[in-house]
Amino acid sequence: MTSAPELTVVVVSFNTARLLEACLVALERSLAASPELRARVVVVDNASRDGSPDLVRKRFPSLELRALDRNLGFAAANNLVLRELDSPFALLLNPDTEVIGDAPAALVRFLRAHPRAGVVGGRLVYGDGSFQHSCFAFPTLAMSFLDFFPLNHRLIDSRLNGRYPRGWYERDFQIGHPLGAGMAVRRSALDQAGLMDEGFFMYCEEVDLCRRIRAAGWEIWYSPDATIVHHEAQATRQFRGEMLLQLHKSRFRFFSKHYPPVYGRVARAIVRLGLLRDLIRSAAGRVRGDVDAGEWRRRRRVYERLLAL
């Protein structure tokens, strides 16, 4: 009789076959080098059109595949597996990542050693090994403002913009939330806080989940012992206008769930001001000939939809 897994790894994919293959190769290598960790790997494919499901079937026959006939979004796709979770821990992993060494086992060791930790994220690096911010404070009005009006480059990496000092990344520390590209979650924390909010189609799902888990009395941590390469934003680059719309829809949903109404009104005003400025810049570019007619129409449609949110 096969014993139940200690860790369930969930990879939600959408039209990232090349990156998905590298992700699963690295994951299989890591788990093979950590035989003490019983793990189950589930790939949920959100109706990819690039052959991703066939890749998993042929190249990784030992893994579980849920090939969906429509794109449910990130939260709902993860929930398909989290709803039936039979392991004490889950690792939510983006397909544009590659775990290094024994990263999954290191995250599990951290959760075992810290019984009040509901979530832990690891160290993220870019493909060239350079530093990437792995975790953030919860959103504030200052962060919304700096999204559109950065003012000074030093502010982008500052605590005012929700970033933690780079020196902190050499040790464990408590955080608001990790980037959702790679985070381990304790099942008992999910039992208390609930699964991902499927009202978020893309973006802010992990922020909302961590907010609810912390509200339920759990701690959220970062650990440098697990390193993960993150080829940032590869899936979302495919539909930039639509993803910009989804980003702000998700942020407004997050604000309405977790902040007073006045906060949401000010946040919307900041976003609209920034969008109007960008629309004016694009119009000026059209007049100068820097932006062609097709691109101008595309941008205008996106900005109009964003302003209507």
Q: What is the pLDDT of residues 216-251, one digit of tens each?
A: 999 999 999 999 999 975 444 444 567 777 777 888
Domain termination site, one of 236, 252, 281: 236
Residue 251, domain member (yes or no): no
Q: Tell me: do 183 and 268 sit in the same domain.
A: no
Residue 86, domain member (yes or no): yes
For residue 2, the model assigns a pLDDT of 59
Residue 222, domain member (yes or no): yes
Q: Tell me: do 182 and 292 sit in the same domain.
A: no
Q: For residues 31 and 47, what is the distance between their CA atoms, to the nearest angstrom?
A: 27
Q: What is the pLDDT of residues 15-72, one digit of tens each?
A: 999 999 999 999 999 999 999 999 999 999 999 999 999 999 999 999 999 999 999 9
Q: Could you tell me the CATH number of the domain that includes residue 122? A: 3.90.550.10
Res. 200: pLDDT tops 80 = yes
Residue 244, domain member (yes or no): no
Token digits for 37? 């960790």
Instruction: Find the range with the poorest average confidence among 70-74, 82-86, 203-207, 239-243.
Output: 239-243
Q: Tell me: do 167 and 283 sit in the same domain.
A: no
Q: Tell me: do 270 and 204 sit in the same domain.
A: no
Q: Tell me: do 168 and 20 sit in the same domain.
A: yes
Q: Tell me: do 176 and 41 sit in the same domain.
A: yes
**Maximal C-alpha separation, the chain:** 71
Residue 242, domain member (yes or no): no
Q: Tell me: do 230 and 119 sit in the same domain.
A: yes
Domain termination site, one of 204, 236, 268: 236
Q: How many domains does the chain have?
A: 2
Domain range enclosing 64:
7-236
Q: For residues 24 and 65, what is the distance between their CA atoms, to the nearest angstrom?
A: 12
Q: What is the pLDDT of residues 148-184, one digit of tens each?
A: 788 887 888 889 889 999 999 999 999 999 999 999 9
Angstrom distances, CA of residue 38 to CA of 12, 15, 138, 299: 20, 29, 33, 48
Q: What is the DSSP letter of 231?
A: -
Residue 255, domain member (yes or no): no
Beta bridge partners of 185: 90, 119
Q: For residues 45 and 146, what is the distance between their CA atoms, to the nearest angstrom?
A: 34
Q: Tell me: do 105 and 145 sit in the same domain.
A: yes
State the residue for tokens 């520390």: 173
Q: Tell me: do 230 and 264 sit in the same domain.
A: no
| Element spanning 89, H or E | strand 89-93
Q: What is the pLDDT of residues 107-155, one digit of tens each?
A: 999 999 999 999 999 999 999 999 999 999 998 888 888 877 888 878 8
For residue 56, the model assigns a pLDDT of 98
- The backbone torsions φ and ψ at residue 51, rounded to the nearest 5 degrees and listed phi first, read 85, 10
Which pTM was predicted?
Answer: 0.90
Q: Tell me: do 191 and 98 sit in the same domain.
A: yes
Beta bridge partners of 67: 45
Percent of the chain predicted with pLDDT > 90: 67
Q: Tell me: do 210 and 268 sit in the same domain.
A: no
Q: Tell me: do 27 and 168 sit in the same domain.
A: yes
Report helix, strand or coil for 99: strand
Res. 185: pLDDT tops 50 = yes
Residue 252, domain member (yes or no): no
Residue 302, domain member (yes or no): yes
